[in-house]
């Protein structure tokens, strides 16, 4: 990959963003599934996202409603203490008696309220008691809201993970694993943060706003009218800035996915990276991606600060104008000094929520963008949904006859068919070997038998029943698969062998390892079957990983066995033991074996020669050697002595 500085990439990003904006205004948004053009427009309105968020709350809605109720009470209680300032100025320090409407709220026997000193003590005690009650109620409400956050985060992460695990293989293969993990961690987790940023904090601001408006209306409606003129500023700032900010957050998340995917890819292939001395190049590539994301984040920061600048100008200006007008009313005797102080105090309490509503709308755009991406993910069609009335296969009733009937298949988006009318029958207990050149369609056919995909045309039948008429989860329980590229999980040896049967006993695990000729090296490990093998089994050799994978398939006790070069990483001695073990294992199971070394499948019940997506011929080894020129040619290539080419390279004749 050519070296490109983060500055140049950011300049290209800005140019692309301007072009997309122009196209939006001219032609409307052009939506692409993976492109950034979609991210520049808000694919879902705020109302649609809010409805989806409330739906995702599920059973937590009641807990959130209770939290909002306690928040309402604590916020209203918080509006009371500032009123004490008015009474202290007018009635304690000014010596004026309490207004009859206020004095009538308390019993006549409370004579202490009729003296300045007693009233001051009552105000102080009342404020302390009110603050204590407000603190307890508010803390309980925040605990309820925090619990709701964690519940929503866990629920959305489970939902996103479960749906991602059910996506079609071709879709999963198009996603970067690091980016998908980042979405599950950051975006799905950010949905829970909306409880505070989009609901809890704005609700508090709204209650404080309405309460402050009520107090201001009681004090002087003309001053209230002047302050209400600031309300349109909330709509104006939202209209001007917010529509631009959320799409930018989507772009940042797309860049973050690419960075996480690159990091995952680099460390997964660290041997290749180091083997080709590309460590410095990958380090620079990671730094360039991080710098690009930092520039994007700074760009969003500037857009977000625009709202703060507007309000930092408007609040002092509005306060100064209202102070001038209120001061003139005091000088003219229309208002008392306490009334003016009361009004200015509640004015600050009014302007604060207005600013909070405007800035919070900016702050939760990142979480809304994450919610939008999660909704995109869960809206994608899942892998091979069961047909209505699909049957659950019963293991004891399965004979294992597999028929491939005129199957055609092409990958999504591809024009060329990988399989072009393949037909074959595997009788119960037969071993069927699939041979052919790389890319001929052998692995694709096995993927269709495993029902990782459905045929484009034709059908695959198990005991006469179309696989599409069987419950997918039930059918998969009948399978055992061992691939050339073995995947093991970060856990113990025993956990990996028992992956398909978590209820397996220690004796069953050891027996499976013995059949796979894995017991000897396992028992030589320091912790035996309890040895941690590391991510993807990095602490094992290739042959050891292969034998554990075979033991895993043995323990699964499948009715249909698929082996894709299952003995490719074994030494000659181990391979002889494994071949004997597999022969015993496959005797009562229908088995499909992909092999490039033809010597390993000469004993197969049927050998199917696949050539360019078609069945070229099929039969036993002896039959094919007699009548199939293509099969004889493949055998000859593997058994002939090497010849010297003109370039000096050595190959088989």
* Mean pLDDT for the stretch of residues 437-450: 90
pLDDT of residue 33: 34
Helix (H, G, I), strand (E, B) or coil at 613: coil
With cut-offs at 50, 70 and 90, classify the pLDDT of residue 482.
confident
- Which residues, 6 or more positions from 13, have their beta carbon under 8 angstroms from its beta carbon? 251, 292, 296
With cut-offs at 50, 70 and 90, classify the pLDDT of residue 640.
low
CA angle 414, 420, 422 (to 5 degrees): 135
Lowest-confidence pick of 25-29, 78-82, 247-251? 25-29
Lowest-confidence pick of 103-117, 218-232, 375-389, 598-612? 218-232
Residue 275: count of CB within 10 angstroms of its CB: 9
Mark whether 318 and 429 lie in a shared domain: no
In a domain, 646, yes or no: no
pLDDT of residue 216: 74
Residue 73, pLDDT above cutoff 90? yes
Name the strand (E) or helix (H) holding 232: helix 231-237
With cut-offs at 50, 70 and 90, classify the pLDDT of residue 300.
confident
Mark whether 427 and 355 lie in a shared domain: no
Q: What is the DSSP string of 169-231?
A: HHHHHHS-HHHHHHIIIIIHHHHHHHIIIIIIHHHHHHHHHHHHHHHHHHH-HHHHHHHHTTH
Check if the beta carbon of residue 561 is closer than 8 Å to that of residue 483.
no
Mark whether 244 and 366 lie in a shared domain: yes
The phi and psi torsions of 252 (rounded to 5 degrees) equal -60, -45
Residue 574, pLDDT above cutoff 80? no
Lowest-confidence pick of 264-273, 493-502, 558-567, 609-618? 264-273
Number of residues that make up the chain: 653
**In Å, how far are 495, 497, 540, 546, 552 from 488, measured between CA atoms?**
10, 9, 10, 9, 10
Residue 297, pLDDT above cutoff 90? no
Residue in the structure block whose two tokens are 């069953």:
508
Residue 146 to residue 153: CA distance in whole angstroms = 11
Cross-strand bridge partners of residue 470: 391
* Mean pLDDT for the stretch of residues 302-312: 73
In a domain, 586, yes or no: no
Residue 242, pLDDT above cutoff 70? no
Mark whether 348 and 420 lie in a shared domain: no
Residue 330 to residue 523: CA distance in whole angstroms = 93
Lowest-confidence pick of 33-42, 532-541, 557-566, 616-625? 33-42
With cut-offs at 50, 70 and 90, classify the pLDDT of residue 618.
very high
Cross-strand bridge partners of residue 403: 425, 461
Mark whether 226 and 301 lie in a shared domain: yes
Q: Where do runs of H (alpha helix) occur along 332-419?
A: 337-363, 365-379
In a domain, 548, yes or no: no
In a domain, 406, yes or no: yes
Helix axes 60-78, 116-165, angle to 10 degrees: 160
* Mean pLDDT for the stretch of residues 42-51: 77
Residue 75, pLDDT above cutoff 80? yes
Lowest-confidence pick of 417-431, 458-472, 596-610? 596-610
Where residue 183 sits, what CATH number does that domain have? 1.20.1560.10
Where residue 461 sits, what CATH number does that domain have? 3.40.50.300
Check if the beta carbon of residue 449 is closer than 8 Å to that of residue 402.
yes
pLDDT of residue 384: 83
* Mean pLDDT for the stretch of residues 572-586: 68
In a domain, 601, yes or no: yes
Mark whether 331 and 458 lie in a shared domain: no
Mark whether 282 and 375 lie in a shared domain: yes
In whole angstroms, how large is the CA radius of gyration of the chain?
A: 36
Domain of 623? 399-475+591-641
pLDDT of residue 571: 63
Total domain count for the chain?
A: 2
With cut-offs at 50, 70 and 90, classify the pLDDT of residue 647.
very low
How many helices (H) and strands (E) the chain has is answered by 27, 12
Mark whether 281 and 425 lie in a shared domain: no
pLDDT-above-70 percentage for the chain: 83
Mark whether 289 and 154 lie in a shared domain: yes
Residue 101 to residue 465: CA distance in whole angstroms = 86
pLDDT of residue 446: 92
Residue 653 to residue 644: CA distance in whole angstroms = 9
Residue 486, pLDDT above cutoff 60? yes
Reference 591, options 392, 449, 409, 438; nearest CA is 449
Residue 444, pLDDT above cutoff 60? yes
In a domain, 245, yes or no: yes
Report the chain's mean pLDDT, rounded to a whole number: 80
Reference 590, options 403, 407, 443; nearest CA is 403
- Which range, 1-15, 264-278, 320-334, 477-491, has the best average confidence (pLDDT)? 477-491
Structure token digits, residue 593: 């074996």
Residue 134 to residue 144: CA distance in whole angstroms = 15
Distance of CA 245 to the CA centre of its chain: 21
Mark whether 350 and 469 lie in a shared domain: no
Mark whether 255 and 112 lie in a shared domain: yes
pLDDT of residue 236: 66
Helix (H, G, I), strand (E, B) or coil at 417: coil
Residue in the structure block whose two tokens are 């916020």:
75
pLDDT of residue 587: 72
Residue 339, pLDDT above cutoff 70? yes
Mark whether 327 and 448 lie in a shared domain: no
pLDDT of residue 469: 94
Pairing of the two strands 560-564 and 479-482: parallel
Residue 419, pLDDT above cutoff 90? yes
In a domain, 534, yes or no: no
In a domain, 45, yes or no: yes
With cut-offs at 50, 70 and 90, classify the pLDDT of residue 38.
very low
Residue 49 to residue 43: CA distance in whole angstroms = 10
- Which residues, 6 or more positions from 43, have their beta carbon under 8 angstroms from its beta carbon? 31, 372, 376
Residue 524: count of CB within 10 angstroms of its CB: 9
pLDDT of residue 641: 66
Cross-strand bridge partners of residue 492: 532
pLDDT of residue 438: 84
With cut-offs at 50, 70 and 90, classify the pLDDT of residue 142.
very high
- Which residues, 6 or more positions from 182, have their beta carbon under 8 angstroms from its beta carbon? 253, 256, 257, 260
With cut-offs at 50, 70 and 90, classify the pLDDT of residue 465.
very high
With cut-offs at 50, 70 and 90, classify the pLDDT of residue 34.
very low
Structure token digits, residue 439: 């890319």
């Amino acid at each position: 990959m050519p070296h490109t500085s983060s500055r140049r990439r950011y300049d290209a990003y800005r140019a692309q963003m301007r072009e997309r904006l122009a196209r939006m205004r001219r032609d409307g948004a052009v939506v692409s599934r993976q492109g950034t053009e979609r991210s520049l427009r808000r694919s879902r309105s705020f109302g649609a996202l809010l409805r989806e968020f409330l739906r995702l709350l599920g059973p937590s809605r009641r807990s959130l409603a209770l939290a909002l109720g306690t928040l309402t009470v604590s916020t209203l209680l918080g509006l009371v203490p500032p009123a004490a300032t008015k009474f202290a100025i007018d009635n304690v320090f000014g010596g004026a008696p309490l207004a009859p409407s206020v004095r009538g709220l308390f019993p006549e026997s409370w004579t202490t309220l009729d003296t300045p000193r007693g009233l001051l003590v009552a105000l102080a005690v009342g404020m302390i008691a009110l603050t204590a009650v407000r603190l307890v109620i508010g803390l309980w409400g925040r605990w309820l809201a925090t619990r709701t956050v964690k519940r929503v985060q866990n629920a959305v992460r489970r939902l996103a993970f479960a749906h991602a695990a059910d996506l079609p293989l071709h879709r999963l293969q198009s996603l970067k694993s690091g980016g998908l993990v980042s979405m599950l961690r950051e975006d799905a987790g950010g949905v829970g943060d909306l409880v505070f940023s989009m609901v809890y904090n704005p609700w508090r601001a709204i209650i404080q706003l309405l309460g402050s408006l009520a107090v201001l209306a009681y004090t002087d409606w003309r001053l209230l009218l002047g302050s209400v003129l600031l309300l349109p500023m909330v709509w104006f700032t939202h209209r001007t800035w917010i529509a631009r900010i959320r799409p930018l957050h989507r772009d940042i998340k797309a860049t973050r996915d690419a960075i996480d995917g690159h990091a995952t890819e680099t460390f997964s292939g660290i041997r290749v990276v180091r083997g080709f001395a590309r460590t410095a190049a990958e380090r620079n590539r990671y730094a360039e991606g991080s710098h690009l994301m930092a520039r994007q984040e700074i760009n969003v920061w500037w857009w977000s600060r625009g709202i703060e600048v507007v309000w930092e100008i408007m609040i002092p200006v509005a306060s100064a104008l209202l102070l001038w007008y209120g001061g003139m009313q005091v000088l003219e005797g229309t208002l008392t000094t306490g009334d003016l102080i009361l009004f200015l105090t509640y004015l600050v309490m009014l302007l604060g929520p207005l600013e909070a509503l405007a800035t919070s709308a900016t702050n939760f755009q990142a979480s809304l963008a994450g919610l939008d991406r999660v909704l995109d993910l869960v809206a994608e069609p899942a892998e091979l949904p069961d047909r209505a009335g699909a049957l659950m296969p019963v293991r004891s009733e399965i004979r294992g006859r597999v028929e491939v009937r005129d199957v055609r298949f092409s990958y999504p988006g591809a024009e060329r068919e990988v399989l072009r009318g393949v037909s074959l029958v595997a009788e119960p207990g037969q071993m069927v070997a699939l041979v052919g050149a790389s890319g001929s369609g052998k692995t694709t056919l096995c993927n269709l038998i495993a029902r990782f995909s459905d045929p484009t045309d034709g059908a695959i039948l198990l005991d006469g029943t179309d696989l599409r008429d069987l419950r997918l989860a039930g059918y998969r329980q009948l399978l055992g698969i061992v691939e050339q590229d073995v995947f093991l999980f970060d856990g113990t040896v025993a956990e990996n062998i028992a992956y398909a049967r978590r209820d397996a006993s220690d004796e069953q695990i050891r027996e499976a390892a013995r059949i796979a000729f894995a017991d000897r090296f396992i028992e030589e490990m320091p912790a035996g079957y309890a040895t941690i093998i590391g991510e993807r089994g990095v602490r094992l050799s290739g042959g050891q990983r292969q034998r554990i994978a075979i033991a895993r398939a043995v323990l699964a006790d499948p009715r249909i066995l698929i082996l894709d070069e299952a003995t490719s990483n074994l030494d000659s001695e181990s391979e002889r033991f494994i071949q004997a073990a597999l022969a015993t294992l496959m005797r009562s199971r229908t088995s499909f074996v992909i092999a490039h070394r033809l010597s390993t499948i000469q004993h197969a019940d049927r050998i199917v020669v696949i050539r360019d997506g078609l069945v070229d011929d099929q039969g036993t080894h002896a039959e094919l050697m007699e009548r199939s020129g293509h099969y004889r040619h493949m055998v000859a290539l593997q058994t002939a002595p090497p010849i010297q080419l003109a370039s000096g390279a050595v190959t088989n004749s």
